[in-house]
Amino acid sequence: MKTYQSFDEIEYDLNKLKLERQIAWEELKGVKHQFQEDIQPLNWVSSGLKFAGKYGIFVILKKLFRK
């Protein structure tokens, strides 16, 4: 535990902790917004189409090289 020599040191640390808490809160808001965007159905469809496209290309190449 830190030992303080003056009230100014206490106020400085309290202000620092308050600012750190505000920064963390804003970061959580950003994460929440990003999460909401990630779970939207349109993003799921987009991800599914990307996967299907990659898999489809793989299957086509596999068939071409087998013959």
* Confidence (pTM): 0.52
In a domain, 1, yes or no: no
Residue 36 in any domain: the answer is yes
Residue 13 in any domain: the answer is yes
Q: Which two tokens stand for residue 1?
A: 């535990």
Does some domain include residue 27? yes
Structural domain count of the chain: 1
How far, in Å, CA of 53 to CA of 67, rounded? Answer: 22
**Residue 42 forms part of a structural domain:** yes
Rounded CA gap, 12 and 18, in Å? Answer: 10
**10 contacts: CB under 8 Å, gap ≥ 6:** 4
The overall average pLDDT reported for the chain is: 87
pLDDT digits 0-9 by tens, 24-48: 999 999 898 888 777 777 767 777 8
Q: Which domain holds residue 45?
A: 7-66
Per the domain annotation, does 35 fall within a domain? yes
Q: How far is it, in rounded angstroms, from Cα 45 to Cα 61? A: 24
> Is 2 a member of any domain?
no
- Residue 2: closest CA among 62, 20, 13: 13
